[in-house]
Amino acid sequence: MNPAKTRPMTHQQIRRLTLAALFAALTVIGAYIKIPIGPAPITLQTLFTLLAGLILGPWTGALSQLLYMGLGLIGLPVFTSGGGLTAILTPSFGFVIGFVLAPLAMGGLEQIRRTRQPRTRGRAYLSLLLLALVGTAVIYLAGVPYMYLVLRHVNGVTLTFMQALKTGCLVFLPGDLAKCLLAAYVGQKLRPWLDPSYLKRASS
């Protein structure tokens, strides 16, 4: 019996894995650029997560954030709260889950938009901005309820959901809107260079 042959990775697969690792590293760097203002500090992680979704697409973008999450869960201090499995019980871990989900939602929305409106060159920036806003909303939808539950049931903090919404969302909105604007601009510039298939899609 001949041993099963392992098919070598294609150039495209290697490229996608390399880009996923790159954006995972950028998210790590973003965790260290932070302003502590509460249970969830201000960081640049959201910016790099949005760029991953805009540039890498849904699956590779989500993979980059899964790599980031995995690095933290095995003990590397890449989260804003440190690292290790105990990070799951920290208030900010829900936002890390949101980092994984955001590129999937952004990619799904883009696929729907591309099917219904295949020609949007003149509105490319606005389309990317919409995707960034959706990605940000997904991060909040995962992060705020998780933070609320951990603060109440793990840390024993007495607060209402509206207080958690204010602490984990409302105070961040101006900065996150700026990140969305920047992500859409940078994504529009880098997409053709880091994702060659984008040019083909844009002209189809």
Does some domain include residue 5? no
Does some domain include residue 96? yes
Over residues 31-44, the pLDDT tens digits come to 988 787 766 778 89
Model confidence pTM above 0.95: no
Does some domain include residue 65? yes
CATH of the domain at 174: 1.10.1760.20
pLDDT value at position 101?
98
pLDDT higher than 80, residue 45: yes
Does some domain include residue 1? no
Does some domain include residue 182? yes
Instruction: Say how many domains are in the chain.
Output: 1
The contacts of residue 199 (CB under 8 Å, 6+ apart) are: 192
CA separation for the pair 187, 194 (Å, rounded): 10
Q: Which residue has the higher pLDDT, 199 or 109?
A: 109
Does some domain include residue 143? yes
Does some domain include residue 185? yes
Give the torsion sign (CA, 151, 152, 157, 162).
positive
pLDDT higher than 60, residue 3: no
Does some domain include residue 3? no
Q: Which residue has the higher pLDDT, 131 or 200?
A: 131
Question: What does 62-93 look like in DSSP terms, one character per residue?
Answer: HHHHHHHHHHHHTT-S-BTTB-SGGGGGSTTH
Structural domain harbouring 172: 13-202
Report how far Cα 16 is from the mean position of its chain's Cα atoms: 16
